[in-house]
Amino acid sequence: MAYNYRNLSITKISVIGAGQIGPDIALHFAKSLSQSGVSVIIVDISPEALEKAKAKAHKKIQKGVDAGAFKPELAEKMKNAMIFSSDYELVRGSQLVVEAATEDENIKDKIFRAVEAMTDDNCIYLSNSSHMQPEVIFRNIKNKSRCLVAHYFFPAEINPVVEIVPGKDTEASLTQLLLGFYESIGKVPIQVRSSYGYAIDPIFEGICQTAILCFERGWGSEKEIDAAAVKALGLGVGPFTALNLTGGNPITAHGLDEMGKLLMPWFKTPLALHEKTQKKEGWNIAQRGEKVELSSEKEEKLVNEFRGAFFALATFILDIGIVDINDLNMACEMSLVIKPPFAFMNDLGIDKVYDLVKSFCASHTSFPFPKVLETAKAEGGWLLKDIVAAKQDDVLLITIRRPKVLNALNLEVLGQIKNELEQVKDDNSIKAAVITGFGTKAFVSGADLNMLAALKTPEEGYNNSHTFQAVLDYIENYSKPVVCAMNGFAFGGGNELAMACTARICKKGLPVLACQPEVNLGFIAGAGGTQRLPRIVGVDKAAEILRTARTVSSKEAFEIGLVYKEADGDLVGEAIQLARKIANGEVTIKTISKAAIASNGGAKELEIGHLSKKIDSILVKAIYEGSRMNLDDGLDLESRMFGECLLTEDMKIGLENFKSNGPKVKANFIHK
């Protein structure tokens, strides 16, 4: 058995280093690949380290079973897949080697020279360095085209972000292959050009430096500064707590001094950090549940300092040109558990941000004011995207990329999709388009519920529904075929977006592909679901799916005509081929009827369990009356019925229940 991704076939992965992060990297590989029969070898020269690493990994696996994260059968496969050994000979035959040893260039060099002698020319060499450039790490490797940095974040088995850093000799196609491979195993990879510390660590370590400088100046205790940083930046934990949790004092102390030499003079290890590192001491942080109070004056001073530093650091990284702004915005939020810097700047207002950074740079004279911030101020803020658009020869590929919310839709995302389609509408070199989602779990998890919860009146509901519909109408009536590649489940607005496309294909074997879950939350589909689904699968079948909110598997979706086919291999590749064939007239797709469709009278009796009878009556009206209208009139009816849901008590109950208890707890509807 093997795990196959495009032209990469993996049967064995070796992780070198059983210290802080290596076992966690191996654990993620085991979780993702053990069911494909992949062996994960963890090698270290220390038997004691290996013993501790094995115990740690097995404990985490059992914790996952106890929490219901995975089944006992998977747990056993994970344990069996992971082999802990001091025998380097086990590395032979690996297709992928990840070094996770001490941050020492000579140790890394020694490891990779030994590994290269044991592996063939197709083996991929990755270093989990947190700072060093690939040109330094792989300086003595003969086949430098197969070498990159893959920088994981703590904890590596859970934190989704991986920085992919190619060297100057790395094969470009290998970089793209690895970006796709990591996405296929559940990570969120971003590409970063070679630079000391890469894109995210200079921001994290710069925030830590700021915290320690505040402490040295007497602006507050470690506990107070941590609390202010959390408030200022939306951090999961403060910088002192993060350093303690990750054992990060030594590596941060070393990294800051090196960044001072290689990036800019502002980076410098504070004396207090040197002392903590030498004494092997942690910081005095708040205990779990301990509340830290700050005076308003102290809090304001610290909040402004942290925000000034954060915005200066993020724009500095953008200034040196090593990463895309959207990648950096997304990856900072997910890897550091912090507010996304550029979206945060837009929310605060670019003029206020400009002043904060000006003040910060004035008091930190070795920190140059970032040039990109001048441009952003002139343009009124940052232009950010939640989609990635790329031309694949004669097909435009649009990927919805909001991994934190499983690609949930809002009006901004739909507007970005429409804008990309508009840009190539008159481009004769583009014959068709494909829309897909980032990752492997969800195509689109639904509409952004924060947006829906903000609606207050039937008029607002009508307008929201109508605005969604307008973009989907544009896609449906687009002059070129648009194929939806459903890479995972499509719920609510995701399924409605898919149905507006010319054709849909999905991954084969998905137990859950599509669902219109709106009635669980006390409202009805409002982006065309009540009108397009009946025209695709038939009125009564659609009504049963819509009224019960049950899920549809990929197999059933194919059988009832919701999807054109199930794809067994490269989903996006097959979608691109299908789009091309439709454009060339080689494949004809049955389009959705714009006219009224035959309806067998009224709604059938249906058991809806705990669901709201009030909402069900509104939904039935939308489905059955809409089916007797042309599509445009039916969609308008749907918008009016969606707006009517806002007059009900059950919509309030449904949304509040979801917000408080999540999707698994049934709402106590009162049918009003």
User: Three-class SS of residue 628?
Assistant: coil
User: How is residue 154 annotated by DSSP?
Assistant: S
Which residues does the annotation mark as catalytic? 496, 518
Helix (H) or strand (E) holding 109: helix 105-118
Residue ranges in 119-200 assigned as alpha helix (H): 134-137, 172-184
Task: Write down the residue that tokens 């809002």 correspond to.
Answer: 410
Distances (CA, A) of 66 to 71, 72, 79, 91, 432: 9, 9, 15, 32, 47
191: left (phi over 0), alpha (psi -120 to 50) or beta: beta
Q: Contact, 536 vs 589, CB < 8 A?
A: no
Q: Contact, 638 vs 496, CB < 8 A?
A: no
Q: How far apart are CA 417 and CA 71, in angstroms?
A: 38
**Cis preceding linkage at 155, omega within 30:** yes
Could you give the angle at which helices 296-319 and 371-379 cross, rounded to 10 degrees?
100
Task: Of 532, 537, 488, 543, give the one whose Cα is nearest residue 512.
Answer: 488
Q: How far apart are CA 275 and CA 216, in angstroms?
A: 12
Q: How far apart are CA 381 and CA 128, in angstroms?
A: 34
**Cis preceding linkage at 265, omega within 30:** no
Q: Is 31 exposed, middle or buried (0-12, 13-18, 19+ CB in 10 A)?
A: buried
User: How is residue 519 annotated by DSSP?
Assistant: G
**What is Dmax (Cα atoms) for the chain?**
81
Residues with Cβ < 8 Å from 563, sequence gap 6 or more? 486, 504, 505, 506, 513, 554, 557
Q: How far apart are CA 268 and CA 100, in angstroms?
A: 25
Q: Contact, 32 vs 186, CB < 8 A?
A: yes
Q: How far apart are CA 552 and CA 498, in angstroms?
A: 14
Task: Of 529, 457, 460, 454, give the one whose Cα is nearest residue 491.
Answer: 529
Q: How far apart are CA 100 and CA 155, in angstroms?
A: 13
Neighbours of 150 (CB within 10 A): 23
